[in-house]
């Protein structure tokens, strides 16, 4: 007689996190592959003017991967959120499309604007997910502190970082539409993408710092058998 497998909350939580990790690995692996393929010509042909685009794309992958991993170990659990997953796919599709245009500044900035527009929707949806899970974090003071850090960080980025990126890239696309020469003439687009790269590095450094705090809060919630 076959033994029936027990369906427990712990098993479901583990399955959801495993799916999330697999999704992150596949999506960012595809993004990294696309960027590497497009970068081959840039490096091989000595097109130094497009190096900032190549590096900015790599920093974007690091930021995306770090945030996705932090979210997975912080609040991703059962029930499985299909909308969150579909938004991941949409963001990744735009990310890969942008990397295919690292030698075409106009298309690059248009895709970057679309990337952060969808990212805003993803951030807003994840705030809803975090709010719905509040009750799961109130049983101990340590878990309450963890929840406060998760929620405050997500809301802060939704209110400042993502809108800032939208305004920045929206302004660039508007100028490219109305007066493209202001950015494209004399390769001034290099200075613009260098600003994008700088902001990406600053955000990455802040994410690493925040993850250190999150790790300590998570460790304080570990329950020994």
In this predicted model, what pLDDT tens digit does every residue of 104-152 receive, in sequence order?
Answer: 999 999 999 999 999 999 999 999 999 988 888 888 888 899 999 999 9
The dihedral sign for the CA sequence 170, 174, 175, 177: positive
pLDDT at 110: 96
Residue 224 has pLDDT above 60, yes or no: no
With 70 as the cut, is the pLDDT of residue 16 above it?
A: yes
pLDDT at 117: 96
Does pLDDT of 10 surpass 90?
no
| pLDDT on residue 225 | 47
pLDDT tens digits, 139-162: 888 889 999 999 999 999 999 999
pLDDT > 70? residue 14: yes
pLDDT mean across residues, the chain: 89
What is the rounded CA–CA span in Å between residue 8 and residue 153?
30
Contacts 24+ apart (CB under 8 A), 138-147: 140/221, 142/217, 142/220, 142/221, 143/221, 145/217, 145/220, 146/74, 146/214, 146/217, 146/218, 146/220, 146/221
- What pLDDT does residue 21 have? 83
Task: Spell out the domain ranges in the chain.
Answer: 9-220
Predicted local confidence at residue 3, as pLDDT: 62
How confident is the model at residue 187, as a pLDDT? 87
Mean local confidence (pLDDT), 48-77: 90
pLDDT score recorded for residue 4: 60
């Amino acid at each position: 007689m076959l033994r029936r497998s027990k369906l427990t909350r712990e098993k479901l939580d583990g399955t959801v996190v495993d799916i999330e990790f697999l999704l992150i690995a596949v999506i960012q692996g595809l993004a990294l592959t696309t960027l590497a393929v497009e970068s081959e010509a840039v490096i091989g042909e000595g097109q130094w003017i497009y190096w900032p685009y190549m590096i900015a794309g790599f920093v974007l992958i690091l930021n995306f991967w770090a945030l996705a991993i932090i979210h997975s170990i912080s609040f991703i659990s059962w029930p499985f959120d299909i909308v969150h997953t579909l938004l991941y796919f949409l963001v990744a599709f735009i990310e890969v499309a942008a990397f295919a245009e690292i030698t075409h500044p106009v298309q690059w900035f248009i895709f970057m604007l679309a990337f952060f527009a969808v990212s805003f929707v993803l951030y807003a949806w994840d705030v809803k997910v975090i709010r719905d899970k509040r009750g799961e974090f109130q049983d101990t003071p340590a878990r309450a502190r963890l929840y406060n850090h998760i929620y405050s960080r997500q809301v802060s980025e939704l209110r400042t970082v993502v809108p800032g990126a939208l305004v920045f890239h929206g302004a660039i696309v508007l100028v490219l539409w109305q007066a493209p020469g202001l950015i494209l003439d004399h390769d001034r687009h290099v200075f613009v993408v260098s600003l994008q790269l700088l902001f990406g590095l600053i955000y990455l450094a802040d994410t690493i710092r925040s993850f250190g705090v999150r790790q300590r809060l998570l460790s304080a919630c570990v329950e020994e058998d």
